[in-house]
Amino acid sequence: MRILIVEDDRLLGDGLCQGLRASGFSADWLTDGAAADAALAAGDVDLIVLDLGLPGRDGLHWLRHWRRRAERVPVLILTARGELAERIAGLDAGADDYLVKPVPLAELAARIRALLRRSHARPEPVWTHGALRFETDSRRVFWRGRPVELAPRETALLELLLASPQRVLSRATLQQRLYHFEQDIDSNALEVHVHHLRRKLHPAIVRTVRGVGYALGPADAGSAR
Ligand code: CA
């Protein structure tokens, strides 16, 4: 899942970005709202962590701007502004959650996971699909009850497919949500991850939709026989 962090404090922004990447997210860190607005317009973003005190227009301005144009991306405000009136204003401007700094990384990651589950209409913390079981908190994967070792990006790809089980996800969408800005994307990398998922789980777990992208395979993939 791709997270944009909008934070002008360099130490905090860098720390959040590294911490969220270590928690399994594809995270990018930007230092002002205009850059976040451009990133949002340019591609798929699953969630924004938004500071309020920013250079130029503040976070509330950008949040209102996004909601006015019916941008549905979940926004979690993470700010030093902790007054009751400020928290209410943030939520009423369209934020999905409001946290006052400092917040332990583990709690921030858990709140992000909760918002992402809701935004994908899969509120249950454990996602199952036939013989497959994915624990969204620990990011552990099981096939027919047995744990399966997946590389972090293989897990991230599986998570994206499970989050939208009815959808065909284009190659561009998957690449944008799997990789952050600075990463060079090998054009074959996606195919390699798909290949590994099929090998480690089941050949039918990922369906290729020719000329478009990939979708989750049928739930009965790997059922008895
Ligand atoms: Ca700030």
What is the reported pLDDT for 48?
A: 98
**Distance from Cα 15 to the centre of ligand 1, integer Å:** 14
191 and 92 both lie in a single domain:
no
8 and 108 both lie in a single domain:
yes
151 and 109 both lie in a single domain:
no
Residue 110 in tokens: 């858990």
pLDDT tens-place string over residues 77-119: 999 999 999 999 999 999 999 999 999 999 999 999 999 999 9
pTM: 0.91
Domain end call among 86, 119, 152: 119
99 and 135 both lie in a single domain:
no
Banded pLDDT at 180 (limits 50, 70, 90): confident
**Distance from Cα 12 to the centre of ligand 1, integer Å:** 9
**Distance from Cα 178 to the centre of ligand 1, integer Å:** 27
**Distance from Cα 151 to the centre of ligand 1, integer Å:** 34
**Distance from Cα 16 to the centre of ligand 1, integer Å:** 13
Give the CATH number for residue 168. 1.10.10.10
157 and 135 both lie in a single domain:
yes
What is the reported pLDDT for 2?
A: 95
What is the reported pLDDT for 186?
A: 74
Cβ contacts of 223 within 8 Å, gap of 6 or more: 130, 131
Q: Is residue 93 part of a domain?
A: yes
What 3-state DSSP class applies to 107? helix
pLDDT at 125 over 50: yes
**Distance from Cα 223 to the centre of ligand 1, integer Å:** 52
pLDDT at 165 over 60: yes
Nearest Cα residue to 185 out of 196, 194, 176: 176
Q: Is residue 222 part of a domain?
A: no
pLDDT at 225 over 60: no
Amino acid in position 105: L
43 and 114 both lie in a single domain:
yes
**Distance from Cα 53 to the centre of ligand 1, integer Å:** 4
What is the reported pLDDT for 193?
A: 96
Distance CA 100, CA 71 (A): 24
**Distance from Cα 61 to the centre of ligand 1, integer Å:** 14
E strand spans, the chain: 2-6, 26-30, 47-50, 75-79, 97-100, 126-129, 132-135, 141-143, 146-148, 169-170, 206-209, 213-216
Q: Is residue 54 part of a domain?
A: yes
Residue 169, CA distances (Å) to 65, 78, 83, 100, 121 in order = 27, 30, 41, 35, 17
Percent of the chain with pLDDT over 90: 88
**Distance from Cα 55 to the centre of ligand 1, integer Å:** 8
Domain end call among 119, 144, 178: 119
Give the CATH number for residue 23. 3.40.50.2300
**Distance from Cα 51 to the centre of ligand 1, integer Å:** 6
What is the reported pLDDT for 204?
A: 96
Helix axes 105-119, 10-22, angle to 10 degrees: 60
What is the reported pLDDT for 18?
A: 97
**Distance from Cα 79 to the centre of ligand 1, integer Å:** 7
Q: Is residue 225 part of a domain?
A: no
139 and 190 both lie in a single domain:
yes
55 and 84 both lie in a single domain:
yes
84 and 154 both lie in a single domain:
no
What is the reported pLDDT for 183?
A: 73
pLDDT tens-place string over residues 150-161: 999 999 999 999
Q: Is residue 223 part of a domain?
A: no
Domain end call among 67, 97, 119: 119
- Structural domain that includes position 199: 126-216
**Distance from Cα 58 to the centre of ligand 1, integer Å:** 9
Number of domains present in the structure of the chain: 2
Q: Is residue 156 part of a domain?
A: yes
Judging by DSSP bridges, how do beta strands 126-129 and 97-100 pair with one another? unpaired
Average pLDDT over residues 121-138: 95
Q: Rounded mean pLDDT of the chain? A: 94
**Distance from Cα 6 to the centre of ligand 1, integer Å:** 9
93 and 167 both lie in a single domain:
no
Banded pLDDT at 43 (limits 50, 70, 90): confident
135 and 104 both lie in a single domain:
no
